[in-house]
Chains A and B, each alone.
Chain A
Amino acid sequence: MELDALFAEHRDAMFRYLARYTGDPDLAEDLVQETFLKVVVRPPKTGDNVKGWLFTVATNLAKDVRKTARRHEELLRRAGGIARLERSPADPSAEAERADAWRRVRAGLDALNHKERTALLLRAEGFAHREIATALGTTTGSIGTLVARALAKLATTVAL
């Protein structure tokens, strides 16, 4: 498949998934670009399940970036540094409600480990357990356990 067609088909879903994973839309956009750069540099060996391959690459990139981001946050905290400031919302009441929901879902997702978060978010994108297992380098049979555990954790932190 042509690269442009592939990009057009998967760009939005991948951006949404990465923004959910990282909590940072700017970073998500960069990671989408990085993922497709990998298609150019080192394309998948077979044409089977290209979408699964793309999301696996995206997941690995997001995992690495998140590690670095957490290190920077730790440095900031130790140095008594300054926090990122949010811009003023256009509609304060609607935005406040949305911001509150966003904080809840971020707190919930941040409390999960990489495998739990990835399993839940790929499942929300409609991936089958086999595809999620491939992205995580684990067995298909373990995905049910991961999802059950992640949902139970989220139910307590996010009050699902």
Chain B
Amino acid sequence: MSHPDQDVLVRLVDGEVSALERAALAAHLEQCPECGRARDAIEERSRALVDLLTRTDPEVRVFALARRRRPSRMPSRGWPVAAAIVLLLGAAALLATPVRAWILDRWAGMRRVIGVSEPTIRAQPSRVSFVPGSNVLVVRVANRQASGDLLLESTDSPRVSAEVRGAGDGVELTVLPDELRIANAPGARASYRIAVPARLERITVLIAGEVLAVVAPVRAGERHTVNLAWVP
């Protein structure tokens, strides 16, 4: 028998050979120290890999199966039409001033009851400050610019503070519960300083819909700069 290839030795080690093939290989390995060493190396490397993987595995997590509504295999054609009609009627009702005033009044009352101090959406031209609604924050920049940076600075404060620096004409900052939006023009040259609470678990920076950076702050005082200029 000629010297077996490495793949044959792998199959031998993994018990993936027939009885006949096993017998022939055993006879060869008994007389060929070189092939014996090759088989031993495959066994040893396989063991070492499993050992290394096991030592570096993350802790097993106890998590439950997330229940999501099972989509119907045969969706009714009537539902989308009905939903569209309801949405149209709702939109038409919102256009009526008395309805809008009634909703805003009820919402203000509800905010007082549940203790929400921040409006859900807020926009100011050049400076905003708010407490994020969870331990993650998304910073969404509309466009890359001609020049400019986005500076993220972690602080002990529970508030996110953002300000536009430099040529910030036309730039608008908008606050959502877990998101800061920077509406900028492609030709803008402004920079932005965003102070973020160090307690946040994760800050994701998106530019033009692409995830550009993910930061997990560890302590206050960390600074990270993201270049907003177009890359060649």
Contacts and interface: CB of A to CB of B under 8 A. Distances in A.
A111 interface: no
B57 interface: yes
Q: Is the interface of B mostly helix, strand, loop or mixed?
A: mixed
B136 to A, nearest CB: 12
A120 B45 CA distance: 11
A11 B7 CA distance: 31
Contacts of A12: 60
B70 A40 contact: yes
Nearest to B38: A148
A160 B61 CA distance: 28
Interface in A75-133: 75-76, 78-82, 84-88, 98, 101-102, 104-105, 120-121, 123-124, 128-129
B157 interface: no
Interface stretch (B9-17, B100-108, B120-128): B9-17
B68 interface: yes
B50 interface: yes
Contacts of B60: 12, 15-16
Contacts of B217: 85
A95 to B, nearest CB: 11
B65 interface: yes
A154 B45 contact: yes
A1 interface: no
Most central of A84, A85, A104, A143 by chain B CB within 10 Å: A85
